[in-house]
């Protein structure tokens, strides 16, 4: 690459789906002079070097962040507090500490609790993913055409935020800046509740006595199979998300359940018009999702 | 085609996604000597002939079934009663009257109320579909590797059932025979509830005051977009399904809501283990769906 890298050294902590995708995408875009990986699992570190999305990798996160200009936490959000504590002392003054966690207020709090003065804290969340995990699941195109949300705290350094914005844009992402709290509300409805109800219906189906598991699987092409895909997502990551975004999730879940009760009532009282009206409105939203290029 | 057709004349009533797919698939398999279409809409009849998946088509269903050996209702299940009444007098003795409706007990009852003695009543449901509608949405491969469920009533003619089974197998489908009532229970959980909750969450998201519709669409890649696809399905068809399968849907919905309350409680009380346990179990179901070839 002949481009001037945006950051001379970037350290990725956690080399799963998102960490490996970031590595591949950074390589392709030429935005990092050097990419260092950290993973608690020695075998994953080796694999990452072998796959070529990091230059080197090690199990000691504090060592890995030495002299890095940008450090990105790519582990489940429940690990951020301990990780931030572990690396805090090793961070270079003027470095940017960021993450890719799916919940932002808790991420910000966890990092802010430990990051030393002079380190720029800019949480980020690429709204892109698949149901796969691990260092082999990543690919450079994951962020293309998707949105990445930055949630810098009040008083964050404007230049550092701009630079991180350029970084994500170089990876093909569109970037939006918003408050961490608002992010968590938006993602509760566009991501966390969809996952929760997918996990839930797959569980409900597995528990039936009147319908066998083999029937559920055979006839899954009627709609159920799409939910099984979502419900195959990483259990650690999703447990952490629901715990970290408890308030927003419970708020949205309350609304979902209220609306579902009203649909239930429409079915019980055979109110076909009410059903038809909802089913027509939802089509319009689909049209807009496609128009916005968010389902290709 | 040099193959001997299974039925000399087949009439398809309703030329939307399923009707047109059936036409294309029958052509490819050479299982029908002649394919007659019927649709209330003159323009759709013309389109069907133009696309070539029927030999001729007309708006008068009673005329279209004259001399047919197999008649398949391919309209929403709420129309079956009126349609069966309309065509009953024109059915050829010894003909098979079938359908593709997504609910089977109500379909059986509607057809049985009108079909004359000597006509074989064998309801069927191909568990295959897309969210698209109309005569241009169909394709010959829709049924390949999917299951079709036949629900012949007690005392149905065994030879007629066998023949219809061979017909669906010739279209690439796997065939299972079960009671209509059991079908409705199985499909309630594998298809009807998934659609209901997809419609519901898209509606909930559209109604929020704290999150804008444009945000919901922008960040839909986090899971929500998959639900919008399902919630774009035909409103007439789905209204009819929920009304026709009311009891089984309400039964399954009750279980779904019970389980969701328990998940809600786990989040409120931060019971990470309970969440993790469910999220791990559901992964296993996904593995089986893939192994069964139901998601390609
Ligand atoms: N998947 C998505 O769709 C998606 C989308 C946007 C954002 N995110 C966010 O991205 C982050 C990573 O998710 P992912 O999909 O990349 O998951 P992943 O493929 O499962 O990778 C998780 C990584 O975190 C490490 N890890 C897990 N538990 C740990 C612990 N207790 N201590 C230290 N390291 C630990 C794993 O180490 P091992 O190698 O030892 O397993 C692995 O490197 C999460 O915060 C998630 O919320 C995910
Ligand atoms: N879509 C799926 O995924 C799927 C899967 C399995 C089974 N099914 C079942 O297949 C059947 C047809 O669904 P589809 O997906 O093919 O729907 P579609 O593409 O919307 O086609 C519906 C057809 O029914 C006709 N129709 C609608 N309302 C009618 C009425 N009141 N009177 C007479 N004709 C009417 C339509 O006529 P116009 O041409 O005038 O609109 C059209 O020909 C339904 O019973 C459904 O439950 C659907």
Task: Answer whether residue B113 shows pLDDT above 90.
Answer: yes
Residues B107 and B248 in one domain: no
Domains contained in chain B, number: 2
Residues A211 and A194 in one domain: yes
- Give a yes or no: residue B296 inside a domain: no
What would the two tokens of residue A183 be? 């992010």
Question: CB contact, 8 Å: A3 with chain B?
Answer: no
What would the two tokens of residue A63 be? 């060592």
Quote the pLDDT of residue B274. 98
Quote the pLDDT of residue B1. 46
Residues A165 and A201 in one domain: no
- Give a yes or no: residue A1 inside a domain: no
- Give a yes or no: residue A2 inside a domain: no
Interface of A with B in 257-296 (CB under 8 A): 257, 259-261, 263-264, 267-268, 270, 272, 275-276, 278-283, 285-289, 292, 294-295
Tens-place pLDDT, residues A76-118: 999 999 999 999 999 999 999 999 999 999 999 999 999 999 9
From CA A231, how far away is CA A216, in angstroms rounded?
15
Choose among B87, B131, B90, B127: nearest CA to B110. Answer: B87
Say yes or no for a CB contact (<8 Å) between A225 and B289: yes
What would the two tokens of residue A117 be? 């003065």
CATH number at residue B236: 1.10.3660.10
Say yes or no for a CB contact (<8 Å) between B260 and A253: yes
Q: Which ipTM did the prediction report?
A: 0.94
Mutant choice from B192, B207, B221, B277 vs A, greatest count of A C-beta within 10 A: B221
Tens-place pLDDT, residues A256-277: 999 999 999 999 999 999 999 9
Q: How far is CA B171 from CA B23, B34, B144, B212, in A?
A: 10, 16, 7, 46
Q: Which DSSP string corresponds to A13-38? A: E--SHHHHHHHHHHHHHT-EEEEEEE
- Give a yes or no: residue A38 inside a domain: yes
Quote the pLDDT of residue A295. 84
Quote the pLDDT of residue A3. 67
Residues B86 and B13 in one domain: yes
What mean pLDDT is predicted for residues A43-66? 98
Quote the pLDDT of residue B295. 84
CATH number at residue A87: 3.40.50.720
- Beta bridge partners of residue B52, listed in sequence order: none
* A–B interface: beta-carbon pairs under 8 A: 317
Say yes or no for a CB contact (<8 Å) between B253 and A260: yes
Say yes or no for a CB contact (<8 Å) between B294 and A231: no
Question: CB contact, 8 Å: B187 with chain A?
Answer: yes
Task: Answer whether residue A48 shows pLDDT above 70.
Answer: yes
Nearest residue by C-alpha to atom 15 in ligand 1: A17
- Give a yes or no: residue A296 inside a domain: no
From CA B185, how far away is CA A45, in angstroms rounded?
49
Residues B168 and B67 in one domain: yes
Residues B20 and B153 in one domain: yes
Computed over every residue of chain B, the mean pLDDT equals 96
Task: Answer whether residue B234 shows pLDDT above 80.
Answer: yes
Contact B174, B146 (CB under 8 A): yes
Contacts of B254 (CB under 8 A, 6+ apart): none
Domain C-terminal end among B126, B144, B178: B178
Backbone angles phi and psi of B258, in degrees to 5: -60, -50
**Least CB-CB distance to B292: which of A189, A218, A249?**
A218
What would the two tokens of residue B156 be? 């149905």
Tens-place pLDDT, residues B150-167: 999 999 999 999 999 999
**Among the bound ligands, the one closest to the CA of B133:** 2
Q: How far is the CA of A61 from the centre of ligand 1 (A)?
A: 15
CA-based nearest distance A78→chain B, Å:
11
Other beta carbons within 10 angstroms of residue A156's beta carbon come to 18
CA-based nearest distance A128→chain B, Å:
6
Tens-place pLDDT, residues A114-156: 999 999 999 999 999 998 999 999 999 999 999 999 999 999 9
CA-based nearest distance A73→chain B, Å:
19
Residues B201 and B217 in one domain: yes
Backbone angles phi and psi of A54, in degrees to 5: -135, 160
Task: Answer whether residue B23 shows pLDDT above 90.
Answer: yes
Nearest residue by C-alpha to atom 32 in ligand 1: A79
Choose among B58, B51, B48, B54: nearest CA to B26. Answer: B54
Say yes or no for a CB contact (<8 Å) between A282 and B206: yes
From CA B141, how far away is CA A87, in angstroms rounded?
55
Range(s) of the domain holding residue B17? 7-178
**Least CB-CB distance to B286: which of A176, A215, A232?**
A232
Say yes or no for a CB contact (<8 Å) between B147 and A288: no
Where does residue B34 fall: left (phi above 0), alpha (psi -120 to 50 degrees), or beta otherwise? beta
Quote the pLDDT of residue A4. 85
Residue B104 — very low, low, confident or very high, per pLDDT cuts 50/70/90? very high
Residues A11 and A123 in one domain: yes
Residue A1 — very low, low, confident or very high, per pLDDT cuts 50/70/90? very low
- Give a yes or no: residue A285 inside a domain: yes
What would the two tokens of residue A76 be? 């489940």
Contact A249, B204 (CB under 8 A): no
Contacts of B162 (CB under 8 A, 6+ apart): none
Residue A296 — very low, low, confident or very high, per pLDDT cuts 50/70/90? confident
CA-based nearest distance A280→chain B, Å:
6
Q: Which residues of A touch B193 (CB under 8 A)?
A: 201, 204
From CA B43, how far away is CA B50, in angstroms rounded?
10
Residues A200 and A247 in one domain: yes
Q: Which residues of B touch A255 (CB under 8 A)?
A: 204, 207-208
Task: Answer whether residue B225 shows pLDDT above 80.
Answer: yes
Backbone angles phi and psi of A292, in degrees to 5: -80, 0
Backbone angles phi and psi of A187, in degrees to 5: -70, -25
Residues A207 and A251 in one domain: yes
Computed over every residue of chain A, the mean pLDDT equals 96
Task: Answer whether residue B249 shows pLDDT above 80.
Answer: yes
- Give a yes or no: residue A216 inside a domain: yes
Contact A107, A101 (CB under 8 A): yes
Choose among B114, B113, B83: nearest CA to B99. Answer: B83
Q: How far is CA B157 from CA A125, A246, B31, B203, B250, in A?
A: 61, 58, 20, 46, 33
From CA A101, how far away is CA A124, in angstroms rounded?
7
Beta strand B7-13 with B174-177 is unpaired
Domain C-terminal end among A135, A155, A178: A178
Residue B3 — very low, low, confident or very high, per pLDDT cuts 50/70/90? low
User: Could you give the angle at the alpha carbon of A134 between the alpha carbons of A129 and A140, nearest 5°?
Assistant: 50
What mean pLDDT is predicted for residues B100-116? 98
Interface of B with A in 4-33 (CB under 8 A): none
What mean pLDDT is predicted for residues B27-53? 98
Residues A16 and A158 in one domain: yes
From CA B89, how far away is CA A193, in angstroms rounded?
52
Q: How far is the CA of A118 from the centre of ligand 1 (A)?
A: 27
Say yes or no for a CB contact (<8 Å) between B243 and A275: yes
Contacts of B6 (CB under 8 A, 6+ apart): B31, B32, B163, B166, B167, B170
Q: Which DSSP string corresponds to A110-140? A: HHHTT--TT-EE--EEEE---S--STTS--T
- Give a yes or no: residue B257 inside a domain: yes
CA-based nearest distance B4→chain A, Å:
31
Q: How many helices (H) and strands (E) does chain B have?
A: 13, 9
Residues B109 and B234 in one domain: no
Share of chain A above pLDDT 90, in %: 95
Domain C-terminal end among B162, B178, B194: B178
What would the two tokens of residue A146 be? 């998707």
Quote the pLDDT of residue B217. 95
From CA B21, how far away is CA B143, in angstroms rounded?
8
């Amino acid at each position: 690459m002949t481009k001037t890298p945006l950051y001379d050294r970037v350290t990725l902590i956690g080399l799963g789906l998102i960490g490996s995708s970031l590595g591949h995408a950074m390589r392709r875009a030429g935005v990092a002079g050097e990419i260092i990986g950290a993973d608690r699992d020695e075998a994953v570190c080796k694999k990452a070097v072998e796959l070529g999305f990091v230059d080197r990798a090690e199990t000691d996160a504090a060592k890995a962040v030495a002299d890095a200009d940008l450090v990105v936490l790519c582990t489940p959000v429940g690990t951020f507090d301990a990780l931030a504590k572990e690396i805090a002392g090793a961070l270079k003054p003027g470095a940017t500490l960021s993450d890719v966690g799916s919940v932002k207020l808790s991420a910000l709090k966890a990092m802010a609790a430990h990051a030393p003065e002079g380190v720029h804290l800019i949480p980020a969340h690429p709204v892109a993913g698949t149901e796969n995990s691990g260092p082999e699941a990543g690919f450079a195109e994951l962020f293309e055409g998707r949105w990445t949300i930055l949630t810098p705290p009040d008083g964050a350094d404007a230049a550092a935020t701009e630079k991180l914005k350029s970084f994500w844009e170089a990876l093909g992402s569109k970037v939006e800046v918003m408050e961490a709290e608002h992010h968590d509300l938006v993602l509760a409805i566009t991501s966390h509740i969809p996952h929760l109800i997918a996990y839930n219906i797959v569980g409900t189906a597995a528990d039936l006595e009147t319908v066998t598991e083999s029937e559920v699987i055979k006839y899954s092409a009627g709609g159920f199979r799409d939910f099984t895909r979502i419900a195959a997502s990483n259990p650690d990551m999703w447990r952490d998300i629901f715990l970290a975004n408890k308030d927003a999730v419970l708020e949205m879940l309350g609304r979902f359940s209220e609306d579902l009760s009203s649909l239930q009532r429409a079915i019980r009282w055979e109110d076909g018009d009410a059903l038809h009206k909802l089913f027509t409105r939802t089509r319009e939203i689909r049209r807009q999702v496609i128009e916005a290029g968010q389902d290709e």
